[in-house]
Structure 1
Amino acid sequence: MHREVLNAGIVGTGACVPDRILTNVELEQIIDTSSEWIFSRTGIQERRITGPEQATSDLATVAAGRALTDAGINPEEVDLVIVATSTPDMLMPATACIVQDRLGIKKQAGAFDLAAGCTGFVHALTVGSQFIAAGSCRTVLVIGAETLSKMLNWEDRSTCVLFGDGAGAVVLRPVPKDSGILAFKLYSDGAGGPHLLIPAGGSRYPATRETLDSKLHYLQMNGREVFKFAVRVIEESAEEVLAAAGLNKTDIDFFIPHQANIRIIEPAARKLGIPMEKVLVNVNRYGNTSTASIPLALDEAVHEGRIKSGDYIVMVGFGAGLTWGSVVIKW
């Protein structure tokens, strides 16, 4: 028996960032760097940092609640919660289960975390859309949330100046056939995993005095290799997902790349022929918030009234794994 495949679309957005702002000028006081050096190489001027009492689930819960309110949907209507994160509250239970409980979402709803580095939100959005396409769920809550500041070596200027904390969320529901998520592409290259990782804390290197003394619980990055990888895959991934959707570069109304570095975003936009006024950028105010960066930028643009019905939006993520991926949405 033939069953119609449903399109999934975003019907609500929400975001949450910590109150604490850490500026480049403040970083000058704790590491060997300068505000000008950071800004010229990254485009970052400040980032948000969680307090010692805040965890990833705290940001995720607020962002998700705001997305549900924006969509006009009660928590009891949610069928599935997906939290994309590299910084869960703990290894178990899933952060998504903590969010489900705090929001009062029904026990009949599924909840799980998804780990795909900074590409996590694109992966989670794709996975959530497939539950709707299959007819298994009607309402899916997708969240990208991170507290990477807790995983940084604040003596390492090559990493600690880059990252910030935050959360963004969207609500997915079935939408008309010619709208919503039109196409997606997901990729991986595990051979590049050593370029961006947190070595310890899992089953390979459980926490010991040696792993702590060696600072293996902090994020490590080969910045040069990650930069080259990112510049290459943004263009390729965007072009391939546009082709899958039957669209051209000139059809793009808004481009939302992962907010890693303005020196990655601007060259990618030039190669794609997308003017910067169509590129959503907030890396200057939030730094690299990993899985939260794309939904944060989306939420801002939606609530500023920039995104209109019928707009074509391309999202591209890239990060640890190595992973990368892209999505085309008709708003």
Structure 2
Amino acid sequence: MGQLPDMRVTPTGRASTHTGLDYFGPMTVKIGRRQEKRYGALFTCMTVRAIHIELASDLTTTSALMALRRFIARRGCPKTIWSDNATTFRGADRELTQAVRAIDRDELTRFSSPRQIEWRFIAPVAPHMGGCWERMVRAVKTALKATLNTRIPREDTLTTLLAEAEAIVNGRPLTYVPLDHNDDLPLTPNDFLMPMTDRTGMTATSGTFNDGDLLRRSWRESQRLADLLWKRWVKEYLPTLTRREKWYQSSTPLAEGDIVVIADSQSPRNLWPRGRVVKTYPGRDGQVRVADVQTGHGLYQRPVTKLCRLDVRPTQD
């Protein structure tokens, strides 16, 4: 198990600086007498794990860009966006998988380049590499089950329910909940999204100030509060991310020339393709987690969790 990327463990000063994107659905809505499908676009902050949900009318590239523009308008422009590989987008619904394949990766890149957004895709057929946002999708679905009473809601009702589910997930504690009521409350993602919502004890004044003093004081208070939140994040939340509870023992990394069998859940085991590793992508710790495999049907890029190495060596020509 490798180290977490820097964007997960480095204070950024603003939530959603590094963002993960995923889709979920479809969800059926009632419009007049007809029924239509809608999808949820979930943006999650890679650092403080806050989420933002946008309702997408379809899974075209234009709809994805509109959802991204609304997210930027409300949460600010991110520096990095991570998402599943667009050519092999995974979803519980086959229609969702097929529809997202039509999203144009080049169009997303053209949109993000002038805004200095780095769009990065995880390896194909590797949903575990996107666990940061996959877990948030599950949390949203759990919250929707608790709030969705009607089977087929109207579109405005679904939009409201998604906003309420977003508030529920962003209100979850990131750190341990204290037993003593005198201790500080646990950190939540909402503390970083709305740091000045609770101003208890800050309303009392101790003198006469003009407008300039009030502005400077408010700005200094907000900056000081943000610093305190990030200090608590470093002391209380960050140590919980650095624990490694599994995969203590390292294995021999894949090397070029290894003969492997590609695990394919869509076909029987006796029909899994066999190939040769032609290129590896080692991480900073030297472990290989993604490799290119040449088979009789073409070149495939797969994570090592889907590659079964055979205890044979290729014959020399």
Do both share a fold (TM > 0.5)?
no
TM-score with structure 2 setting the length: 0.26
Which gives a bigger RCO, structure 1 or 2 (Cα 8 Å, sep 6+)?
1
